[in-house]
Amino acid sequence: MNNEIKIIKINAGRSNVYFIKNKSSCIMVDAGFSGLNKIINIANANDINLKKIDMLILTHTHYDHVNLLHELNKIIYTEILVHNAGERFLKFGQTPVPYSRNILGKFLLLMSRIGGPSKFDPVVPDTLIDGDYNTAKFGFDLSIIPTPGHTEDSVSVIIDKKFAFVGDTIFNIFPMTIYPIFVDNREQLQLSWKRLLDLQCEYYFPGHGKKISFDRLKSDYERVFGKK
């Protein structure tokens, strides 16, 4: 599999959308919040035919990652994959309010409520996963693994054991920490971080902010949870 991989990151309003492509295939991670035209333009500029995307994987169903999904779905005609636990939220068009025990998280939630309810146009997903999903059919060594903690339906997408697309399981907005602002289950999050660390990927690509190195994840793990 020495097919060269290109990773294209797009800031789609409040969250990142990624295209991961090789010579023959292209997969998409998350649908973004806003900026549909920007996504279309950047895809075109990178020779990505949106009608031929091989798969769209949702890292979880918070509205800042799926708000554009309904519109995108009219353009891309691809298989939409989500964790089992997120199916009902996608079909309903709303996700539960995330939990935060810190002041900043509570403040951000309040602000987003003032900005309107976190609803989105519902979408019926094509593929649901419950455990690990592995395939080589797109010319990548692709694994999708459940990484719950931020939410119950969080998954990470691992390409060639080297690049991990982690949604909000790792959060890179603030310089002092990559621990997510919203964590539904801290024990699960610790196990998910441990699993991501054990994979020893070169880079971890979050749903918010810039890519994170293995060393950064390791040092933050030890600071937050103690030595492994």
Q: Please report, as ranges, the residues that interact with Zn ion according to CB under 5 A.
A: 15, 62, 64, 168, 207
Residue 54 or 168: the one with the smaller Cβ distance to Zn ion is: 168
* Least Cβ distance, residue 182 to Zn ion (angstroms): 6
Q: Minimal distance in Å, beta carbon 132 to Zn ion? A: 21
64 or 220: CB nearest Zn ion: 64
| Cβ distance to Zn ion smaller for residue 146 or 207 | 207
Q: Report the residue number, 49 or 177, with the smaller CB distance to Zn ion.
A: 177
Instruction: CB nearer to Zn ion: give 148 or 207.
Output: 207
Residue closer to Zn ion (CB basis): 3 or 117 = 117
Task: DSSP for the chain, please give it.
Answer: --PPPEEEEEEETTEEEEEEE-SS-EEEE---SS-HHHHHHHHHHTT--GGG--EEE-S---HHHHTTHHHHHHHH--EEEEEGGGHHHHHHTB-PPPP--SHHHHHHHHHHHHT---B------SEEESS-EEE-TTSS-EEEEE--SSSTT-EEEEETTTEEEEETTS-BSBTTB-S-S--S-HHHHHHHHHHHHHTT-SEEEESSBS-EEHHHHHHHHHHHH---
Cβ neighbors of 113 (< 8 A, separation 6 or more) are none
Buried b (16+ CB within 10 A) or exposed e, 139-159: ebebbbbbbbbbbbbbbbbbb
CB of 134 to Zn ion, least distance (A): 24
Least Cβ distance, residue 179 to Zn ion (angstroms): 13
Q: Shortest approach of Zn ion to residue 26 CB, angstroms?
A: 23
| In the complex, least distance from residue 181 CB atom to Zn ion, rounded to whole angstroms | 9
